[in-house]
Amino acid sequence: MRLIIFWILLVLLSSTLSYSQELQTIAISGATLIDGTGKPPLSNAAVIIEGNRISKVGTTETVLIPLGAQRIDAAGKFVLPGLIDTHLHLEMVGLSDVGELPPQWNKPEKLRQLVLTNVKLNLISGFTTVRDLASTDLVLQVRDEINAGRIVGPRIVAAGMQLVKKDSTAQKQPIFLEYDGPDRARAMVRSLAALGVDVIKIRLTHSRPIPSLEEVRVIIEEAHRLGLRATVHTDVPADDLVKLAIDAGADGIEHNAPLRAKDEQILKMMAQKGMSLMAQSGAFWLQRIDTTALIDSLDPSQMKLYPDDVLSALHQGIDSVHRQTQQMKNSGWDARRRQASFIQEVRRARNAGVLLVFGTDCGAYGMVHGQQYKALYGESQIGSSPMQAILMATRDAAKALGKSNELGTIEAGKLADLIILNADPLIDLRNLHQVFRVIKDGTAYDPAELISATK
């Protein structure tokens, strides 16, 4: 009997020791904390991480640092929640609608290489969560490999293929899943759910047949029944499509069509229903105003992660954006007038109570992965304060993803997704590019080491 008790105690002790070894503790101390709740920054802050959770938040005077903790001295630095991009495309590099990749990059193994580069660029830039809103199964596979710890990358919320109304005259697209009629629409949602998608994306555009209210409503109701959120792409501007999405019960609207809505009730209805809106104006503003090519604003060491032929295509794509801009200006487009319009639109949405969230459409329109800090800075130039812009990419983005209980703020009990910056983002949001450390799911990464490991 004593021998049995001895062995039981030995097993329990062994389990306890094993658990304590696996549960790594990280202590960040001395930083200025911008916790994502909207509260004023906290000086001389301390954040304790145990395993993949935040366990304590306070000041160095009030928080006891556990013995054996991995200490990160962050004096003079700034700690924020991990940033969230609610709308990007990991299978694209920033050339959609402005250029094309060399043909060899369309092969599956080459496309995977690009996706792996893009996920790394997002992580080292401080984006610990990204939502991919149109892809093939490849992104789902990479997401699963990241979750299993086989690949280093951000947390991915993936939509897979986007649902579109059937169009017999249109060319087939690998990221479109067609439906015609409510029953077929419901079946398509179930097929996506079976593949393991995290969110449903519906595409409403005047370039295709417009679905009925019943079809869109069935898609959203089935998504909700399966525990998935549903967000809608709409043309800009298109009040009728925005109204269709609202009436059908969508959780959010992608792109900034509601900001330009002529119907004054649209923003009020979105606010009443708790819908999120991807504002997506900051990136456009900077692409059209900043005379420096966007690609030149990137850290050269990051850009080296892309092969030379991809970089060449990107340079050509960015150049085309600037040529388009010059043509717009020659045709009478007034950049300052458009900025004033953006400011008015954003304020109107905020005054109505709409949940504005950060999304870049990264991968398209000259938006290159890893440069999202530029788009956030752009938001601060068109009606959002630096703090409001940060909340768009943290607390409010987490809410739009349905993950407020886990992400978006630095609070005890939440997942340990944080970034440490070398400079104050509230002075200038371009300081978001000065990433000292990224902590995702309780693991700390040095961006410079991740870049070096790839070369």
Half-sphere exposure for 74 (CA within 13 Å, toward CB):
34
Reported as a single tens digit per residue, the pLDDT across 401-451 is 999 999 999 999 999 999 999 999 999 999 999 999 999 999 999 999 998
Which of 199, 127, 203 is closest to 368 using CA atoms?
127
- Residue 46 CA to residue 73 CA, distance in Å, equals 10
User: Average pLDDT of 240-247?
Assistant: 97
Q: Structure tokens of 43?
A: 């000086």
Average confidence (pLDDT) over 183-191:
98
CA distance 139 to 142: 5
Provide the pLDDT for residue 207.
93
Over the chain, what is the mean pLDDT?
Answer: 91
- Is 227's pLDDT higher than 50? yes
SS3 341: helix
More reliable by pLDDT, 172 or 388: 388
Q: Say what percent of the chain tops pLDDT 70.
A: 93
pLDDT given for residue 8 in this prediction: 46
Nearest-10 crossing angle of helices 308-330, 282-289: 80
* pLDDT for position 366: 81
Q: Is the pLDDT of residue 250 over 90?
A: yes
* Mean pLDDT along residues 341-345: 94
Higher per-residue pLDDT: 366 or 146: 146
On the CB side of 336, how many CA atoms lie within 13 Å of its CA? 0
pLDDT of the residue at 17? 40
Would strands 162-165 and 355-357 be described as parallel, antiparallel, or unpaired? unpaired
Predicted local confidence at residue 18, as pLDDT = 40
- Kindly give, in sequence order, each residue whose CB lies less than 8 Å from that of residue 49, ignoring residues fewer than 6 positions away: 25, 26, 27, 28, 55, 416, 418, 439, 442
d(Cα 245, Cα 273) in Å, to the nearest integer?
A: 11
- Residue 68, judged by CB atoms within 10 A of its CB (0-12, 13-18, 19+), counts as exposed
For residue 30, pLDDT over 80 is answered with: yes
Q: What is the DSSP letter of 454?
A: H
Determine if the peptide bond prior to 237 is cis (ω within 30°).
yes
What is the pTM for the complete model shown?
Answer: 0.94
Q: Are 364 and 92 in contact (CB under 8 A)?
A: yes
| DSSP3 helix / strand / coil % (the chain, rounded to 5) | 45, 20, 35
DSSP annotation string for 89-124: -TT--S-BTT----GGGGSHHHHHHHHHHHHHHHHH
**Signed CA dihedral, 185, 234, 92, 142: sign only:** negative
The confidence score (pLDDT) of residue 430 equals 93
Per-residue pLDDT, 14: 45
**Per-residue confidence at 10, pLDDT binned at 50, 70, 90?**
very low
The whole-number pLDDT of residue 77 equals 98
> What structural domains does the chain harbor?
2-81+412-454 (2.30.40.10), 83-400 (3.20.20.140)
* pLDDT band (50, 70, 90) for residue 2: low
With cut-offs at 50, 70 and 90, classify the pLDDT of residue 317. confident
Give how far Cα 102 sits from Cα of 236, 308, 313, 316, 336, Å: 30, 11, 7, 12, 36
Burial environment of residue 221 by CB neighbours within 10 A (0 to 12, 13 to 18, 19 or more): middle
pLDDT at 99 over 70: yes
pLDDT of 109 > 60? The answer is yes
pLDDT beyond 80 at 293? no
Instruction: List all residues 6 or more positions away from 11 whose beta carbon is below 8 Å from its beta carbon.
Output: none
Asked if pLDDT for residue 190 goes beyond 70, the answer is yes
Tell me which of 93-102, 244-253, 329-338, 378-387 is least confident. 93-102
Q: How far is CA 86 from CA 94, 102, 356, 357, in A?
A: 16, 28, 11, 7
Between β-strands 443-445 and 70-73, what pairing exists: parallel, antiparallel or unpaired? unpaired
Which residue's entry shows tokens 């070894």? 21
The whole-number pLDDT of residue 11 equals: 45
